[in-house]
Structure formats: structure tokens, C-alpha cells
Structure 1
Amino acid sequence: MTVTSGTEILHYTAFSADPAGGNPAGVVLDASGLDEEQMLGVAARLGYSETAFLTARTGERAYAIRYFSPKAEVPFCGHATVATAVALAERDGPGELEFATPAGPVPVSVVRQDGELRATLTSVEPYVEDPDPADVTEALAALGWDAADLDPALPPRIAYAGARHLVLAAGTRTRLADLHYDFARLEALMHRAALTTVQLVWREAERTFHVRDPFPVGGVVEDPATGAAAAAFGAYARELALVPADAVLTLYQGADMGRPGTLSVELRAGDARVRVGGTGTRIR
């Protein structure tokens, strides 16, 4: 697909080596000639949860990047960052990249491992805060969940690592799998609370989680694999001391949508930032 002469739009998936898995993203490696309206138009036509646009080259393997959902610009998108890094690595070879995102600088390391390209991003400085109890009540109502459906060991929090997410933990895998929510009601709440997604999680084991991310503010019912939310969840897990200071978490996402993906979340003692990695591949 092209927007104007010379503008190429690539199609990649992130957090899966299978084109049928993970989270699809549009990637525009040269968006220097596009304005905001055109970028939003591209994202809307593609219909992916996000499309990434490299708007300028800022140095050696360094770029300014912007992200658009079908409805609006977002400050940071993990899966589109991974997709863009894989696309650049296919063109220029693996190595270190630096992206200047609206949320701040995000370095990405790309390696070839077992014949597949794997990208690992390092988030901006994260934070975790208590949500407004009324917002939690409204989110549960929009989701059709009861307070009794939550896991008391993983309390609701707002977590940020480039974008804000409300973390809600289901007490069972069945509860997580049964996702039928009021789109307009949840979207309205998310706009009021400045949320990018709602990060729904279920803890299978100490360092293994299943996650889902409703994304109505982006015009998408659900995001298949969400790197920004994964980074925010890493900060959440650290803040609540759910895992050791040095830990690698495995997040499974997308299986309930038929697009399974795997996200690796690394925490390092003494470094507040969170690293999120996974494979990626071109769809077409």
C-alpha cells in the first residue's frame, strides 16, 4: 500500500515468528513527507491496533518515531516498536537502535537467534500508582466482572512505562477467557482516566502470566500482544514484589483471539526500566 509516491507501508507482526500470530502493525520506514492527518488516515485504513511512522533520522541507527491507532495518536506502542526494529534489521542488519518516541527515548536491541530476529526494547522510566476506586468499580461494570472475580493477591493499580494501563487480575483463567465488554462504557472511562489499555492478567505460575488488553480508545476491541502494557506490568510486578528484583517473566497473549504471541519481560535490580522482547516477522 502507498499513500503518496515513494511512501511504502509494510506489514509486520510482533511477539510471534508466525505471520498468523502475535500483533500486526503497519510500519512506515520513511514518513518524513506525511502530516498527522495522513498518518492517522493510514492507521485507520490498515485497521491494526497501531501503525508506526519513522518521521526523521536523528543519528546512526537512530530515529524519531510516532504511533497512530485507527482513532488517535498514542505516546508509545511496544509491539509496533518491535515490528519496526525487525523491519530495520531485515534492511540494515541486527544491532542497536534508538527511537525518540513521544514518551521519551527507547533503545532497542535486535539479534538473530535460531534463525529468527528478536527485538528487545528498554522502556522509559515507569511508575505505579493507586487507581481511583470509582474507576475500578466502573471498569468492572463495563467488563461485566464482579469484585469477587479479581485475584486478591494482585490488586488493581495504574501502571505506566510509556503509556498508562489499568491492571486488573482475574482469579481464574476461565474469567480471563470470557471477555465480552461494553465498548462505549469502557472507552468513556478510559478517556476520563487517561488510559491506553486495560491490562487483564491471570497468574499461571510465579513468573508466567496470561494477559488480554481491551483497547476501545484506539478503536480496537482487543490488542493481540501489547508491549507497552507488558512493560507497565513488569513495573507493577516489581512494585508489588511479586517476583525477585532480577527476574524474567513470560506473558502469553492473543490465544483467546486466535493470534497467540509470547512476550518476555525482564526486570533488573538497580534499573527501574523494564525490558520487553520477542520475535517478529513480515506478514506480507
Structure 2
Amino acid sequence: MTTKTPRPEVLRYTAFSSTPDGGNPAGIVLDASALDDSDMLAIAHDLGYSESAFLTAPPEGLGGREGRAYGIRYFSPKAEVPFCGHATVATAVALAERTGPGEFVFATRAGTVPVEVTEEGGTFRATLTSVEPYVEETADADVTEALAALGWPAADLDPDFPPRTAFAGARHLVLAAATRERLADLSYDFARLEALMHRLDLTTVQLVWRESATVFHVRDPFPVGGVVEDPATGAAAAAFGAYARELGLVPADAVLTLHQGADLGRPGELTVTLRAGDRRVRVSGTGTRIR
């Protein structure tokens, strides 16, 4: 007779908000060393958050201060994902509350991701640095299929923001709405968009509307994770930063503000920092425990 591994403590934090009712919730297991893939998937499924993070011992040779480097894996309710920005921010905040602010280093499936946590007035803010990003063309037929699944006419796109697939740890299809009203009206064919995303190996579709030169509103359908919409998406924010820079839509040195979650009643704010001479993208935001 075998004894089932006891379920570990699961913390609940939100990222990209300083209040529990904003941003994107994540489950966090600070010691997942005794869990296998099915255990982690079951925990993520039961929580129902867009992703949950599971910490393990760091691989040999991972850089970082002793005791502040970790392996990390991310599971949605349906599957493992290679990288998740909001769960990384939430995990770094949870660790900082226990061991103090400073730098943490996470070994993800997508590569090594350092995170710097600062604290001011009892509020923690985490800044992750992405892996090397890339931006690639998206076939016209695939864009047409995505628009059909979303129920968006092609005329509702912003012509200054051509569709592209962008990566900064995970792949996201970037589509820009011409108006805030178009972005707000999101009711899509779940199964049809999910099928396309699986075929293109997409984690989310990054829907964007530009309010001003450096301020954007974004939404992220996430059917491949079993979630209709992600409330705040750090990985997509990093990918969008790489996209905007490569297409010359923002300067090489820029700080962008992304608002996400308001349409879901969970407002959050993501800061994307671009630096000339460094292709990596920095994404930062506050985080706090839900309960």
C-alpha cells in the first residue's frame, strides 16, 4: 500500500496590484520538491487561477546569492507553461516577505530570470528581467483565423500596429484594436481560438489599445490554459515591449505603462522598461497576499 504525498501549503498572492482585489492571482508552493507533474497540475486545477508557481531546488551552477536561487515551474488549470510573469512577480514578493528584499534568480523552462524586489512603506515591488526576446511575422491566414475566432472585423485593427508573434519567455500573438470600445467588447469562440493557439504554440493573444505614446490598455485571452481571460499578464507585457521596440513604435529607451484587468473588475498596472543596448525587457509591478 502506498501513501499519498500530503498536499503542501499553497499561498495565494496577487501580482501587479497592491490590493488583494486587483491584479492577477497566483497560487504559490514554496517547496514543491515532493510533488510530481500530476500533483502540480491538480493543485493548479483546483485553485483555478490562470497560473500557479512551484519552487524546487535550483539547478547546479545557477547564479545568484546563496539561498535566493530557485527552480520554478508554472501550471495553468490545464497544462504546464514555460514562463509566467505574474506568478514570478507574486512568488518573488512572497519570498521577499520571508527573507527580505533583494535579488532572486529563477530557473524557468524558458531560461534564467532574475527578479529584483524593493520595499517602500510596506509595499513590495518586483522587477523581472526577461530572457532574450524575438518578434516574428504571423501568416495572414493565421491572423484572419484569430480575428474570426475573436469576432473582430479586420477594419477594427489599428493599422499602425501590424500583427506579429512576440516572445520573451512565451509566445503571444499581438493584435492592436483601433478603439478602446473594440478592446472592451471581448466575447470570443473559446474552442476555435484555443485550436489556433495550440497550432501556433501561443500562450495568450495580447490584445492592445494605445491610449498615448507610452500608455496602453491590454487584454489576454487564455483558452489554452483553461481560462477565458488572464487578468494581468507579465510574460505578454514583456513580449509586447519587445514587439513595440522592434517595430519602432516606442523609443529604444522607454518606460511603458500597461493597464489590464479593469474590464474584469481586477485592475492592475504593469510597467515595461526598455533599455537601449539591452534586448531584454524588464517588467515590474507590486504584489500582495490575498489571504
TM-score range, shorter chain: over 0.9
Letter in 2 for 1:259: R
State the distance in 2 between where 1:271 and 1:236 align. 14
2:240 aligned residue (229, 233, 241): 233
* Corresponding residue for residue 244 of structure 1: 251
What is the match of residue 22 of structure 1?
A: 23
CA gap of 1:5–1:171, structure 2 versus 1, over 3 A, is: same
Residue ranges of structure 1 left out of the alignment (5+ in a row) = none
Residues 1:36 and 2:37 aligned together? yes
Alignment-mate amino acid for residue 48 of structure 2: G
Aligned to 1:141: 148
**Number of residue pairs aligned between Structure 1 and Structure 2:** 282
Quick one: distance in 2 between partners of 1:36 and 1:105? Answer: 21
232-241 or 55-64, which deviates more: 55-64
- Equivalent in the alignment of 2:51: 50
SS at 1:37 equivalent: helix
- Give deviations 1:251-276, integer Å, cap 9, x for gaps: 00000000000000000000000000
Matched, 1:157 2:164: yes
Deviation string 1:10-64 (CA, Å, 9 cap, x unpaired) is 0000000010000000000000000000000000000000000002145530000
Q: Equivalent residue for 1:276?
A: 283
Matched with 2:14 is 13
What is the SS of the residue equivalent to 2:211? strand
Deviation at 1:6, TM superposition (A): 6.9
Residue in structure 1 matched with residue 62 of structure 2 by the alignment: none
How many angstroms does 1:7 deviate by?
A: 1.4
Distance 1:163 1:114 in 2: 33
The equivalent position to 2:190 in structure 1, one of 180, 183, 189, is: 183
SS in 2 for 1:191: helix
Cα displacement (A) at 1:243 = 1.1
- What RMSD in Å do the two structures reach over aligned CA positions? 1.0
For structure 2, list consecutive stretches of 5 or more residues without a partner in the other structure: 60-65
> Structure 2 CA distance, aligned partners of 1:178 and 1:193?
24
- TM-score with structure 1 setting the length: 0.98
Deviation of 1:106 after TM superposition, in Å, equals 0.1
Q: Percent identity?
A: 78
Q: Is the 8 A contact 2:253 2:276 kept in 1?
A: yes
Matches within 5 A, 1:183-262: 183-262=190-269
Offset of residue 109 of structure 1: 0.1
Q: Is the 8 A contact 2:52 2:76 kept in 1?
A: yes
